[in-house]
Chains A and B, each alone.
Chain A
Amino acid sequence: MTDDREPRARHPRTISGGSLQEADLPAAPDVAWRAGDRSEAPLAQGLRRLRKSTTALIGAVIVGVLLVVALFADVLAPQSPIASDQTHTFERPSRDYPLGTDQLGRDMLSRVIHGSRISLAVGVSSVLLALFVGVPFGMIAGYYGGRIDSVIMRAMDLILAFPIYLLAIILMVIFAPTAGLIGTIKVTGAIAIVRIPIYARLVRGSVLSIKEKEYIEACRALGVRDPWILMRHVLPNCLAPIIVTTTLGIATSIIVEATLSFLGLGTQPPTPSWGWDLKANVAFIQSNPWISLFPGIAIFVTVLGFNLFGDGLRDALDPRLK
């Protein structure tokens, strides 16, 4: 996306808008580009392409439906996801129990609906958390270079040197998995920690090339302070890969969450979680094959939704990666 700006950046008149005021120089109308003069921003072009993408549309619809299900789980679920009914254990799918019941007589449909909350909450918030830590680290490392860069990146390498599941599993054992909101926060934290270096590396790579561009040099020459350069001029130019990696990262995080739950290290029962439900019901797979299917299908559809959306987004925002 930086390609669009390059030819203009070589032109003396291309010092972009905000930096001039920041430098406290008198605004010269013939120097700064007015917003209207600019051709369409790369991000806007990308969004236009995104609207035409069928893949992204299907993904967006799946993600949208899931968000609605998670938000209105209390209204949509026909029964309580945790109330057990010993008189109705292992019910086959019927009108009363559309997806059947589990070994404690809990309604599977309600559990699957409520399970979406954990998956989406952990998937989205762990990636956001990793972003908020990883992106500044990556920007600082890339922009300043030298010793700061070495210190930050060696720390990131140490995390990356771990096989991701080994680290996530040990972190969860240290945090001691629990139920409810606290349990969810612990899982989110564990997944975020293992994902921080991915964003730091990605952003550092982009910053390394962006900081050599002439418009950054122009900002510096004008005396613009570093934080402003990083926020206004560097960050917007590495947004496309960040957005794409974030969307696809949510899909990965959801799989990691489900895997941790499957190993018994995710959010603990009675909080409904797809991974845990799948694992718990595998024991009864011989006699009641359907109950482990539904949580599995739920995980699969959710991951597929984010993957489709992320793929469409990548094609739209960064056509070179197609």
Chain B
Amino acid sequence: MRTYLLKRLLQIIPTVLGITFVVFVMMRSIPGDPVVALLGDAYTEENAIKARHDYGLDKPILVQYVIWLGKLVQGDWGTSILSGRPVLKDVMVRLPVTLELIFLSMAVALAIAIPAAIIGALRQNTWADYTATSVAMVGVSIPEFFLGVLLLLAFSIGLGGMLPSSGWVYLPGTCQTVVCAASLWGNTQHVLMPALALGVGRAALLTRLLRASMLEVIRTEYVTTARAKGLSERPVILKHALKNALIPTVTVMGLQVGFLIGGAIVVETLFAMPGLGTFGIDAIIARDYQQVQGFALITAFAFVVINLIVDLTYTFLDPRIRYT
């Protein structure tokens, strides 16, 4: 197990290097560069050449990448060309917002999916099952941003503006700068709609999957055995059936990370949240190379680490799975 873990941790390095390198090359292959936007009215050919030299943009791409890597190893993520702030500092300020959003939306997804799938599987082909599967079908077909708009209409515009339509209040203890609002209640108000908008689609997807694997599992012999032993229905379903049915669900949850990152970009844009999603999309559109690299680095890292966590979860769900 320890060797396996070490091997997997080492594999993170080439993947993260690969992703950041491809992003590096892709961003620099876009015609034009951030210097034009940076200089604005002061743009002259002379100034541009000077600015490019200052930021090291006149060097070959490979050299620029190696310089970026070299600084990275020393803990320097570079400086945003447009805002002039250190990228790492901005990432740290924005990370808690996105992490909270993603964790809560996954919690929403599981809180809806597990009971819905169990009911659907245990009462297969009854009205309860049909309701669960139909609602799940609607859920997978609705894009996050449209659900977000519907929530905005219901809770920010209807119901007397119960929930704020934009902005952010930090969870106490997560704010990295001196000037930010932090309160538990304010945070709950701000995170509720985005987490629902992002979570419901995942909930629908997981419900469909989990229902299908539950249906398969409850027909297996060990579930019959558990019942024959005289166990009551509750432990049979929760301990014997659910745990095994969760394996494919966990795989899909891991695969969904890519979509969650995209969903976070969309939801953060819609609700004007100061998270990593808006940080990334703003940087990509403005071609703020250093900031894009920071975003690519943190997403690539999250992507690989979450996939590792998924693989480790299997050993908990099914002790027969052992990694050596």
- The residue in chain B whose Cβ has the minimal distance to the Cβ of A297 is B146
| Cβ–Cβ contact B142 & A161, under 8 A | no
Interface 1/0 per residue, B155-182 and A, CB below 8 Å: 0010000000000000000000000000
| Cβ–Cβ contact B22 & A163, under 8 A | no
Pick from B137, B143, B259: contact of A165, CB under 8 Å: B259
Inter-chain CA distance A166–B279, complex, in Å, is 12
| Cβ–Cβ contact A165 & B261, under 8 A | yes
Contacts of A176 in B (CB 8 A): 30-31
| Cβ–Cβ contact B23 & A170, under 8 A | yes
Pick from B140, B152, B263, B280: contact of A166, CB under 8 Å: B280
| Cβ–Cβ contact B146 & A299, under 8 A | yes
Interface 1/0 per residue, A155-174 and B, CB below 8 Å: 00010011111101111011
Inter-chain CA distance A263–B143, complex, in Å, is 13
| Cβ–Cβ contact A166 & B261, under 8 A | yes
A198 smallest CB distance to B (angstroms): 11
| Cβ–Cβ contact B262 & A300, under 8 A | no
- Interface stretch among A21-29, A94-102, A221-229, A303-311? A303-311
A189 smallest CB distance to B (angstroms): 14
Q: Say yes or no: A255-B143 contact (C-beta < 8 A), given A162-B258, A263-B265, A278-B149.
A: yes
Contacts of B287 in A (CB 8 A): 173
- Interface stretch among A64-72, A132-140, A286-294? A286-294
Kindly state whether residue B212 has any CB partner on chain A within 8 Å.
Answer: yes
| Cβ–Cβ contact B270 & A282, under 8 A | yes
| Cβ–Cβ contact B303 & A163, under 8 A | yes
A157 smallest CB distance to B (angstroms): 9
| Cβ–Cβ contact B269 & A292, under 8 A | no
B125 smallest CB distance to A (angstroms): 12
| Cβ–Cβ contact B141 & A307, under 8 A | yes
Kindly state whether residue B238 has any CB partner on chain A within 8 Å.
Answer: no
Interface 1/0 per residue, A177-202 and B, CB below 8 Å: 00000000000000000000000000
| Cβ–Cβ contact A170 & B26, under 8 A | yes
Known: A165-B258, A304-B141, A307-B141. 18 other contacts (CB 8 A): A161-B300, A163-B257, A164-B258, A165-B259, A166-B280, A174-B26, A259-B262, A262-B266, A282-B149, A285-B152, A289-B157, A296-B146, A300-B141, A300-B143, A300-B146, A303-B143, A304-B137, A307-B137
Q: How large is the interface on B (under 10, 10 to 19, 20 to 34, 35 or more residues)?
A: 35 or more
Q: Say yes or no: A169-B261 contact (C-beta < 8 A), given A289-B153, A293-B149, A308-B137.
A: no
Contacts of B98 in A (CB 8 A): none
| Cβ–Cβ contact B281 & A262, under 8 A | no
Kindly state whether residue B27 has any CB partner on chain A within 8 Å.
Answer: yes
Contacts of B31 in A (CB 8 A): 176
| Cβ–Cβ contact B285 & A173, under 8 A | yes
Pick from B29, B265, B303: contact of A174, CB under 8 Å: B29
Kindly state whether residue B296 has any CB partner on chain A within 8 Å.
Answer: yes
Kindly state whether residue B184 has any CB partner on chain A within 8 Å.
Answer: no
Contacts of A262 in B (CB 8 A): 143, 145, 266, 269
Q: 21 pairs across A/B with beta carbons < 8 Å?
A: A161-B18, A161-B19, A161-B300, A163-B258, A163-B261, A163-B299, A166-B261, A166-B262, A173-B30, A173-B285, A174-B29, A258-B145, A259-B266, A278-B149, A282-B152, A285-B153, A293-B149, A297-B146, A299-B146, A303-B141, A307-B140
Kindly state whether residue B36 has any CB partner on chain A within 8 Å.
Answer: no
Kindly state whether residue B131 has any CB partner on chain A within 8 Å.
Answer: no
List CB contacts (< 8 Å) of B241-269 with chain A.
Answer: 257-259, 261-263, 265-266, 269
Mostly, the B contact residues are helix
Contacts of A311 in B (CB 8 A): 137
Contacts of A307 in B (CB 8 A): 137, 140-141
Contacts of B146 in A (CB 8 A): 278, 296-297, 299-300
Inter-chain CA distance A307–B138, complex, in Å, is 9
| Cβ–Cβ contact B284 & A169, under 8 A | yes
Pick from A163, A251, A279: contact of B262, CB under 8 Å: A163
Contacts of B22 in A (CB 8 A): 158, 162
| Cβ–Cβ contact B262 & A164, under 8 A | yes
Interface 1/0 per residue, B25-48 and A, CB below 8 Å: 011011100000000000000000
Q: Which residues of B contact A (CB under 8 A)?
A: 15, 18-19, 22-23, 26-27, 29-31, 137-138, 140-146, 149-150, 152-153, 157, 212, 257-259, 261-263, 265-266, 269-270, 280-281, 284-285, 287, 296, 299-300, 303
| Cβ–Cβ contact A166 & B299, under 8 A | yes
Kindly state whether residue A34 has any CB partner on chain B within 8 Å.
Answer: no
B215 smallest CB distance to A (angstroms): 9
B11 smallest CB distance to A (angstroms): 11
List CB contacts (< 8 Å) of A267-302 with chain B.
Answer: 275, 278-279, 282, 285-286, 289, 292-293, 296-297, 299-300
| Cβ–Cβ contact A158 & B18, under 8 A | yes
A86 smallest CB distance to B (angstroms): 26
List CB contacts (< 8 Å) of A144-159 with chain B.
Answer: 158
Contacts of B258 in A (CB 8 A): 162-166
Inter-chain CA distance A262–B281, complex, in Å, is 12
Contacts of A158 in B (CB 8 A): 18, 22
Contacts of B143 in A (CB 8 A): 255, 258-259, 262, 296, 299-300, 303
| Cβ–Cβ contact A300 & B19, under 8 A | no
| Cβ–Cβ contact B284 & A296, under 8 A | no
Contacts of A161 in B (CB 8 A): 15, 18-19, 300, 303
A185 smallest CB distance to B (angstroms): 18
Contacts of A275 in B (CB 8 A): 145
Inter-chain CA distance A304–B139, complex, in Å, is 9
Kindly state whether residue A322 has any CB partner on chain B within 8 Å.
Answer: yes
Inter-chain CA distance A219–B263, complex, in Å, is 48
Inter-chain CA distance A264–B281, complex, in Å, is 10
Contacts of A286 in B (CB 8 A): 157
